[in-house]
Amino acid sequence: MSENRTVILDAARQILTEVPASAFSSREVARKAGVSVGVVHYHFQSRQGLMRAAYDAEYYQGLLRLVDDVRAELGAGEDFEELLIENTLRVFRFCRSRGQLYRNFLSSIVERGDLGHVRELEGQDRMLRLVAPFVAQHAKISMPEARLRLSCLTMLVARLAASSESELRLILEVSDDTDVVAIAEKTLGETARRIVLGP
């Protein structure tokens, strides 16, 4: 990867962690990277291409590393229920730690129907293919039902990870100064077990 491309991508990722996607511009990325707008467009052709590259570098690659970790842990024969809860929380924390970048990523898919992020779907499918057989075996359900349950869990994790603390307070009906993220994690772990393995 060329030095300019790397500097531009780093600037884009940094900006996407600070502002909503609607405020993201190639001009601001060029300014932050110390290059011309023409250099940005030479490497990324468009604002959308630049955003996709930033999402890919920050989110998708990390997600695939998590999936590979899950594969190794499942292969080690550890307690499935414990692994399910632990890895659900790892994905939640990973997405949540990306803050605005993750919210921008989700909004680009939801608001614009931008399924150009096929790699996100590829990552999700890779996770489903890996984990669904274990779910089907442990919950004694069919593969389609196991994939559906895991897809529901994925949507729940995505929604909670993208939520601000005030949104989490509304969703979880927490009104005091309690650590709402800790409550979300506890609730998510319990809910993951119920969704995937049943009552």
**pLDDT tens profile 129-159:** 778 888 888 888 999 999 899 888 888 888 8
| Spans in the chain with pLDDT lower than 50 | 114-115, 118-119
Give the per-residue pLDDT at 185: 95
Give the per-residue pLDDT at 118: 47
Q: Which fold has domain 48-197?
A: Tetracycline Repressor; domain 2 (1.10.357)
Give the per-residue pLDDT at 170: 93
pTM: 0.73
Helices (H), the chain: 3-16, 26-33, 37-44, 47-55, 61-75, 80-97, 99-110, 118-139, 143-162, 165-172, 180-197
**Every domain of the chain and the residues it spans:** 48-197
